[in-house]
A = this chain, B = another copy of it.
Amino acid sequence: MSKEFDTVRVYIEKLKALESALVLFEWDLETLAPAGSVERTSKIIGALSEEYFNCLISSELSQAVYNAKASGRCSELETKILDKLEEEIDKNRRIPSKEYREFAELTSVSAAKWQEAKLSNDYDIFAPYLEKVVEFEKKFAGYVRTDEKTLYDVLLKDYEKGFDVERLDDFFDKLKKSLIPLVKNIGDVTKKIDCDFLLKSADIEKQKKFNTFLSEYLGFDFNRGVIQESEHPFTTSLHKDDVRITTHYYENNIESAIFSTIHETGHAIFEQGIGDDITMTPLEGGSCAVHESQSRMFENMIGRSKAFWMPLYEKLQAEFPGLFADVEIDKFVTAINRTQPSLIRTESDELTYSLHIIIRYEIEKELINGNLDVKKLPEIWNQKYEEYLGVKPEKYSEGILQDIHWSQGSIGYFPFYAVGNAIAAQIYAAMDKKINVEKCLEKKNIKKIREYLRENVHRYGMSKTADEFLKDITGEEFNPDYYIEYLTGKFTGLFM
């Protein structure tokens, strides 16, 4: 390591330590902290955020980064780390320190208020906080904006570079054109599918045991990670040796925990597979769409395939005979792939999922670029659900209050679930040519899949963008046709 980079390294360590502390506080607030603690703890979070911010925008760090780059003695990876740091510095130094802190305090309170609102099905508890979050996001986007066409483009860039409104509009138009007719055609068929057995009572302790098994089967390393419970399932990470998943169990919906566990395990395997040279640097983690490509690939392309369940289905039957004893594997696979317009995104099927995303994308775009009134969101939400999916929430908790993201200040994240789906299909196709994924699944050889993904995706963390990954792995640009072909093939094969 060059002397110049070593000077930067000291700052990186400090930033990473403060960031990890913030991650741990957020994790703790979601999973354990007592309700009455939020107000005072948000002050602590505010002070830590301010400290992080002040370190990031300090002239000493900027100088150190400049010197290191100018020295010409940094490795390729070191240069990428410096670029990433510089980008963060450039972005943040336009934001007033006081506002940065206020926003950090606000989001820790608003996430708690969201949870309270959801549990008591009362949008009014959450609305004033969401209003403030939106206000801040718009203000910050205004500060940070350089050549982006709209304010929402600024937010999008934070989650994945190269996917602006223009490109996303194209992508979603294309999706709508192929998905909506497909959903209509298949919906009539799948209505008749018997899936009542999935809604029978399943002991929660047994569910926990089975999901822990599933996660380990997929390769989650429990020596370097834990699983807990929270209202909204998520994955977080302090570093590659401490990766944390949450799940939420429902007694009468065994699918919910199974597929959210597989989803989060997909994220977690990414985090645990990050290179030793990347963890604890600003390149830790993965860009949003790439991360979601891994979780969605595990959840759907792998987790809902017959090949995956073939070696596991007997165990599932043995653990939950009340549900599955009389159900053949084909009936089970058909049922977990049934498509039906529904209210809850995280529990929706693979085919309608992106329609849930389109709804959120359209609302976010309008919230940031337009003048949507936060008070009217439930109404707009419900209208869009009727329009795209033909269903209408009867409770806020099944509608506008179902997702945690906005309460945490994550506006601009949602579209990348859908982009992630498309990237997953594209990477899967390339991987399949090399290792025959179905055969791996049938033979319980998840390791081979995991190693392909670690080698080609995970170990790089955030050192590549989605576009760069796709180019390197598939030799192609981002191409949603793979996703559309995959969905069409799978669902017509299953149901038509």
Q: Does A217 contact B (CB under 8 A)?
A: no
B interface footprint on A35-50 (CB within 8 Å = 1, 0 otherwise): 1110111011101100
Given contacts A43-B13, A280-B40, contact A48 B33 (CB under 8 A): no
A14 to B20, CA, bound (A): 16
B interface footprint on A392-415 (CB within 8 Å = 1, 0 otherwise): 000000000000000000000000
In the complex, what residues of B have CB within 8 A of residue A242's CB?
33-34, 36-37, 40-41
In the complex, what residues of B have CB within 8 A of residue A20's CB?
41, 44
Given contacts A32-B226, A242-B37, contact A48 B18 (CB under 8 A): yes
In the complex, what residues of B have CB within 8 A of residue A224's CB?
34, 36-37
Stretch at the interface among A21-29, A155-163, A483-491: A21-29
Q: Does A225 contact B (CB under 8 A)?
A: yes
Contact of A14 among B13, B51, B228 (CB under 8 A): B51
> Of residues 278 to 336 in A, which have CB atoms within 8 Å of B's CB atoms?
279-280
In the complex, what residues of B have CB within 8 A of residue A48's CB?
17-18, 21
B interface footprint on A50-87 (CB within 8 Å = 1, 0 otherwise): 01000000000000000000000000000000000000
Q: Does A222 contact B (CB under 8 A)?
A: yes
Q: Are A39 and B241 in contact (CB under 8 A)?
A: yes
Q: Does A360 contact B (CB under 8 A)?
A: no
A244 CB to nearest chain B CB (Å)? 9
Q: Number of contact residues on A: which range applies?
A: 35 or more
Q: Does A263 contact B (CB under 8 A)?
A: no
Q: Does A221 contact B (CB under 8 A)?
A: yes
Q: Does A223 contact B (CB under 8 A)?
A: yes
Given contacts A39-B241, A241-B39, contact A225 B34 (CB under 8 A): yes
Contact of A25 among B24, B35, B40, B222 (CB under 8 A): B24
Q: Are A43 and B238 in contact (CB under 8 A)?
A: no
Identical chains in the assembly:
2
B interface footprint on A222-263 (CB within 8 Å = 1, 0 otherwise): 111110100000000011111000000000000000000000
A239 CB to nearest chain B CB (Å)? 5
Q: Are B47 and A13 in contact (CB under 8 A)?
A: yes
Q: Are B223 and A17 in contact (CB under 8 A)?
A: no
Q: Does A458 contact B (CB under 8 A)?
A: no
Q: Are B44 and A222 in contact (CB under 8 A)?
A: no
Q: Does A454 contact B (CB under 8 A)?
A: no
In the complex, what residues of B have CB within 8 A of residue A118's CB?
none
Q: Are B280 and A34 in contact (CB under 8 A)?
A: no
In the complex, what residues of B have CB within 8 A of residue A25's CB?
21, 24
Q: Does A16 contact B (CB under 8 A)?
A: yes
A43 to B16, CA, bound (A): 10
B interface footprint on A199-237 (CB within 8 Å = 1, 0 otherwise): 000000000000000000000011111101000000000
A37 to B39, CA, bound (A): 30
Q: Are B279 and A33 in contact (CB under 8 A)?
A: no
Q: Which of A24, A25, A47, A48 has the most CB of B within 10 A?
A: A47
A20 to B221, CA, bound (A): 29
In the complex, what residues of B have CB within 8 A of residue A13's CB?
43, 47
A57 CB to nearest chain B CB (Å)? 16
In the complex, what residues of B have CB within 8 A of residue A41's CB?
20, 238-239, 241-242
A18 CB to nearest chain B CB (Å)? 7
Given contacts A35-B223, A242-B34, contact A44 B28 (CB under 8 A): no
Given contacts A37-B242, A241-B34, contact A47 B222 (CB under 8 A): no
A471 to B21, CA, bound (A): 41
Q: Are A238 and B24 in contact (CB under 8 A)?
A: no
Known: A20-B41, A41-B239, A51-B51. 20 other contacts (CB 8 A): A13-B43, A16-B47, A17-B43, A17-B47, A17-B48, A17-B51, A21-B25, A21-B44, A24-B24, A24-B25, A24-B28, A34-B222, A34-B223, A36-B221, A37-B224, A37-B239, A37-B241, A40-B239, A40-B280, A41-B241
Q: Which 5 pairs show the lowest CB-CB distances between chains A and B?
A: A17-B47, A37-B242, A21-B21, A36-B223, A36-B224
Chain A residues within CB distance 8 Å of chain B: 13-14, 16-18, 20-21, 24-25, 28, 32-37, 39-41, 43-45, 47-48, 51, 221-226, 228, 238-242, 279-280
| 14 intermolecular pairs with C-beta atoms under 8 Å apart | A13-B43, A14-B47, A17-B48, A18-B48, A18-B51, A21-B44, A21-B48, A34-B242, A36-B241, A37-B238, A41-B238, A41-B239, A41-B242, A44-B238
